[in-house]
Structure 1
């Protein structure tokens, strides 16, 4: 009986622990037929009933979906990026007609216009209706389809916030149109582009010229990143670019790094507490995700407060810790340290003692807290 139960758990565990991929035929009125989709849902999607997820649309899904979905799953596992719904559109037989543009206006026409409307008017509403999606959307394409994704950027209210351009084969006037659109953007836009030393020469030359123009844009709403990979071909650059693009777009979401700690938090002109609050407000505003403050980030900010001797901020940090880790000793420890540094040793001793019955967290254990209380008692003779 036990062996059978173990075998059953072994069989169902992957479906619980790993992300889910759904293969779906979507009947499109705009395209006049079925389109094949690959949809990767985050790990434990079914268990997190109240959670919504950003969406990443992958063109050339027949070969781009798996590397993109794999990177998203890996990075989100380590909480460097939010979990996402990744949707691949297979185009192995239709990419040329899907991305078709007029030879005079250089805008989507006929089947290209239909595909443009399919994504915006059929696919996205379908995803929003059937899955728990957040408004933050990213789209990715390669060469010809990379050119296509930027047509959404030319709309007054762009459908996507992030654009990942892998060696784009830009239509005439597209570079100038993108520069104009990004220069006027009134809300945040993430724009990533990549080429390589062994990319198709005609593409690489135009991409490098385009990069120069993009770097001249003076608009605080634009988050632009570019990579020119060494010794990569038009196809192998994709494997290098995908993780770089994902890192760039979701940089603010990542835990506070050692570089960030040294470069920002230890500056005496920066309030570590306010930096932490603003970081998570940005995550909430940008990705529509009310995320618990990471313990790593609490400790980074605490250490910065100690290093810069901004002890008055410990009180506010304690209040924030109480909200995010209410049953633990974290808030109690920060409050006790605040009382110590503010010249209230008796109150600090009581705060340390209050940890009795609370849950330990990180290095903060009951023995650690009671030792702190005893030291104050011994020093002041209470």
Structure 2
């Protein structure tokens, strides 16, 4: 059965960044229609308040058993909608530029308190916020969603200061970060964050990280300091990229930065297999994902839908044996999915292997009794 994935048109109607407000009120997502978006309330002992969290899962999340990396968005009320649409577009099986992922957005309550480390006070709001993310939110997400141990942080403006602070004080929390026009200088607390981060880089020469740093048409002092530190002290395994957007301002730069940042983090992800009419072997796809697993540090398998679509592509080009191999491998990877057996049944039917086609359609129906397509195919095959 060919799965249908909703295509999202990546658009932006306006970025209303909560930048200067210390007490911004969280927005609502009541008007956002997709069923793969939810919100929940979590009580934080670290901050001593309830926090609203917004979640976006891949479109096929509820119909698959796949696991996913997680993208955490600071200033969640500003970035959730366009980033969700962007990720779905870039990770679609045909586009295939980045991994599918779960998005966790954290809307603001007291932005300045949460993002600004205070070193000369007993109450460090950034430290409390970091403990909320590390000790409360991430464990909750990992427990309740199918996650992989790879987390990306998106941090804009003052959020970038918190992002640097988090990378130093909780080094295993985020494996990649996108820092957009980060506000890293301007007072003694920010200066101390950057001084300590330079020392941290000097002491940790084996860090394996991915950083994307951007700046709009604005003061470059902060990013110049960060990129200088990265040039001087970052290890060889620390991959980073810096980009200026002279045509954008502080409030419009997040959109382009997110696109380029995700493409940088996943620069080796893309494969042009869907534009290729030649025979494609599963072993070549397997090798591609082995390389990705080595790069990202966890076992990455192609998603069910990705392999399914490759199988149908091979069917369209009359590469029947190759198609059957893709469907067989999909069954190994996703034995509890009715769809993989349905696809296998169709391939055997096209290849004239009637008994095997019926056997796989029956397995599909056993998993999903509502599979009317499978029932129709069995009826057709038995009447031939």
* TM-score (norm. length: structure 1): 0.63
Cα shift at 1:73: 1.4
Cα shift at 1:178: 3.4
> Superposition RMSD on alpha carbons, in Å?
3.7
Which one of 107, 127, 144 corresponds to residue 90 of structure 1?
107
Instruction: Name 1:288's counterpart in structure 2.
Output: 299
Deviations 1:282-308 (A, max 9, x none): 32242532127879999xxxxxxxxxx
Q: Relative to 1, partners in 2 of residues 1:182 and 1:324: Cα closer, same or farther, differing over 3 Å?
A: farther
Instruction: Name 1:23's counterpart in structure 2.
Output: 39
State the aligned residue count: 278
Instruction: Name 2:80's counterpart in structure 1.
Output: 65
Distance in 1 (alpha carbons) for counterparts of 2:232 and 2:323: 42
Q: Which has the larger radius of gyration?
A: 1
Cα shift at 1:71: 1.4
Cα shift at 1:194: 0.6
Task: Report whether the alignment pairs 1:223 with 2:239.
Answer: yes
Tell which deviates more after alignment, 277-286 or 95-104: 277-286
SS in 1 for 2:191: coil
Aligned 8 A contact 1:56 1:85 in 2: yes
Instruction: Name 1:266's counterpart in structure 2.
Output: none
Which one of 45, 50, 54 corresponds to residue 34 of structure 1?
50
Cα shift at 1:19: 6.4
Q: Relative to 1, partners in 2 of residues 1:109 and 1:73: Cα closer, same or farther, differing over 3 Å?
A: farther
Where do 1:259-274 residues align within 5 Å? none
Instruction: Name 1:80's counterpart in structure 2.
Output: 97
SS in 2 for 1:151: helix
Distance in 2 (alpha carbons) for counterparts of 1:52 and 1:178: 32
Aligned 8 A contact 1:136 1:160 in 2: yes
Task: Report whether the alignment pairs 1:194 with 2:210.
Answer: no
Aligned 8 A contact 1:40 1:69 in 2: yes
Which one of 135, 138, 145 corresponds to residue 159 of structure 2?
145
Q: Relative to 1, partners in 2 of residues 1:277 and 1:40: Cα closer, same or farther, differing over 3 Å?
A: closer
Cα shift at 1:112: 2.2
Distance in 1 (alpha carbons) for counterparts of 2:299 and 2:52: 29
- Unaligned residue ranges in structure 1 (runs of 5+): 1-11, 258-272, 299-318, 328-354, 359-382
Instruction: Name 1:236's counterpart in structure 2.
Output: 252
Distance in 1 (alpha carbons) for counterparts of 2:230 and 2:88: 30
Distance in 2 (alpha carbons) for counterparts of 1:282 and 1:113: 36
Deviations 1:261-298 (A, max 9, x none): xxxxxxxxxxxx99976642132242532127879999
Instruction: Name 1:129's counterpart in structure 2.
Output: 143
Cα shift at 1:67: 2.3
Distance in 2 (alpha carbons) for counterparts of 1:72 and 1:142: 18
Q: Relative to 1, partners in 2 of residues 1:230 and 1:290: Cα closer, same or farther, differing over 3 Å?
A: same
Distance in 1 (alpha carbons) for counterparts of 2:162 and 2:243: 20
Q: Which has the higher contact order (CA 8 A, sep 6+)?
A: 2
SS in 2 for 1:129: helix
Which one of 239, 242, 248 corresponds to residue 264 of structure 2?
248
Deviations 1:189-223 (A, max 9, x none): 11111102x22x2xx22312432332344522111
SS in 1 for 2:39: strand
* TM-score (norm. length: structure 2): 0.63
Q: Relative to 1, partners in 2 of residues 1:155 and 1:288: Cα closer, same or farther, differing over 3 Å?
A: farther
Instruction: Name 2:374's counterpart in structure 1.
Output: none
Distance in 1 (alpha carbons) for counterparts of 2:241 and 2:84: 21
Cα shift at 1:179: 4.1
Distance in 1 (alpha carbons) for counterparts of 2:283 and 2:236: 21
Cα shift at 1:322: 8.4
Distance in 2 (alpha carbons) for counterparts of 1:73 and 1:13: 8
Aligned 8 A contact 2:289 2:300 in 1: no
Aligned 8 A contact 2:98 2:270 in 1: yes
Instruction: Name 1:372's counterpart in structure 2.
Output: none
- Unaligned residue ranges in structure 2 (runs of 5+): 1-5, 9-32, 185-189, 274-281, 312-320, 330-349, 354-384
Aligned 8 A contact 1:55 1:84 in 2: yes
